[in-house]
Amino acid sequence: NMLGIWKNKERFKNSYFTKFEGYYLSGDGGYKDEDDYIFITGRVDDVINVAGHRFSTADMEEVVSSHEEIAECAVIGIHDELKGQVPFALVVTKSNTEMSHFQLQQEIENLVRHQIGAVASLKSCVVVKRLPKTRSGKTLRRLLRSLADGEAYQIPSTIDDESIIEEIEQVLKEYKIGFYKTT
């Protein structure tokens, strides 16, 4: 938070330069695969609180993306009366997949349950044609959360294609997810 460290060089140094000596802590997470390709998974501070347990959505996305049929995904926390938030995944499949959506959903939900834990079980997993992104390719997770929770939202000026909002709303309605389970 730049406002919180304005004119405070010591706090700035402690916040961004002490965890990994000689490196700047950006707050972004990622990993390098066996071929030395680097993948940015998202913000390390993008966490959801499920019944008092904190989970990184980036870690969950890494597990979901490990499924051979998934091209890309987004995991968000949606409102839940009992648990506060529950994880919900939106996935884009590879173009040549022949697996049914139901089978894919079951496999992904089991994958998360086994690799992260039962308390992190996905509320649901839905297949979408594409994810809402900025023109630079960043997934608009805040917009996805607002859509799923039925909250007011503002279309970001950086969105690549506004028509995706309607596509996502249709899928949420079809599967009765979040806000749409009662409408």
Domain of residue 62: give its range: 27-181
Among candidates 95, 62, 61, 54, which has minimal Cα distance to 76? 61
Q: What is the mean pLDDT of residues 3-17?
A: 73
What percentage of the chain has pLDDT greater than the value 90? 60
Residue 143: inside a domain, yes or no? Answer: yes
Residue 121: inside a domain, yes or no? Answer: yes
Q: What is the rounded distance in angstroms from the CA atom of residue 73 to the CA atom of residue 75?
A: 7
CATH number at residue 35: 3.30.300.30
Number of domains in the chain: 1
Residue 12: inside a domain, yes or no? Answer: no
pLDDT at 144 over 90: yes
Residue 44: inside a domain, yes or no? Answer: yes
Residue 112: inside a domain, yes or no? Answer: yes
Place of tokens 């939900």: 109
| 28-85 pLDDT per residue, tens | 777 788 899 887 766 776 889 999 999 989 889 999 999 999 999 999 999 999 999 9
